[in-house]
Chains A and B, each alone.
Chain A
Amino acid sequence: MIDFSVTTPFRLVRMLATAGYNTPSIYLLICEAVALEAVQADTEAELKVQLGLSLRSLPASGVRPERIEDALGSEASGTIPLVILDQWLPKLVASFDRNVVLLATNGTVLLLGTREIAERTLAAAPNLRNRVTDVLSIRPDQVFGDLSV
């Protein structure tokens, strides 16, 4: 089992600020299933505070494999798409792999899932694996705890 670098939404967004969120890049973020919502909420809050951007969360089950460009394309500037890999969807992952260049055409794309789904994704999608900017283990900020709303 690979140990990926550990990050938090605060550090992730700091990194995006440094690297340039408009630069085509794909981050695969791994977290515990119970932490998915907290990571999503923290990432949304940090994007707003640090970069003045919005997070556009898309459950993978709601993305049509034949229309990923439409789903991830930036219909509005100032948003970063976050695809939540909420279940194993081989057709969608195959589409990501075939259309990997389209995935991040408009800038940064975040993929968030559990370790199991992330590892299956990496195994099943060699092109995506080669194009991923980084794979990071992410956990919620614990500074603001339950008071983060």
Chain B
Amino acid sequence: MSIEDDLLRLAREREARTDGALLEMLLETPAQLGRELRAYLARQVDHGRVKRTDEKAPRLTTIQGGLNELVCPRAEFTSGARLEFSIQMEENQRGWLVRRFKFHLYLPRERSIKMVRIHLNGESWHDPQVVPRCHLHIGNSQAHVPFQVMDPRLILLVICEHVEPDFGI
């Protein structure tokens, strides 16, 4: 096996682990997840990290194909950063699963890094070496840096408590 073939095999194995982790990541209901994310953001307000509570975010809707989507159009941090996110979920026989998400964090102008984006694509890309299903973009970079798929509640924690206070300072 050539080194190229071996690297492709390794990337495909990583994608299989991502898909497997998603299948094990059962959610109670989309509404429950929405309430938990909203409560978490409210606690960030209490801690002074986020400016104010928006009790209308995230909002839950049903979209094409029976998917449920939670959308938070804007959460403003006291630093001047802002966060947008959307999470799509689908129901299967075992419960609710995360299908796709986008977390976009826009950092304050004075930071050397202006933006961080964390994406979970709906499907694996044909070449997982180029576009891992779950990946991170730093700044305007088009590089798709592999990112460990995890529960959206944990991603929000990572963003609020580690990425937002620290990136680009």
Contacts and interface: CB of A to CB of B under 8 A. Distances in A.
Interface of A: 8, 10-11, 14, 45-46, 49-50, 141-145, 147-149
Interface of B: 29-32, 34-36, 38-39, 42, 53, 55-62, 68
A148 B34 CA distance: 9
Interface of B is mostly: mixed
B55 A10 contact: yes
Nearest to B38: A10
Interface of A is mostly: helix
B55 A143 contact: yes
A41 to B, nearest CB: 10
Contacts of B60: 143-145, 147-148
Contact of A143 (B29, B38, B42, B62): B38
15 contacts: A8-B55, A10-B35, A45-B31, A45-B35, A49-B36, A49-B39, A141-B55, A143-B34, A143-B55, A143-B56, A143-B58, A143-B60, A144-B31, A144-B60, A147-B62
For the complex of A and B, list the 7 residue pairs with the smallest distance between their C-beta atoms, beginning with the closest.
Answer: A144-B31, A148-B31, A49-B35, A144-B60, A50-B39, A10-B55, A49-B39
A77 to B, nearest CB: 21
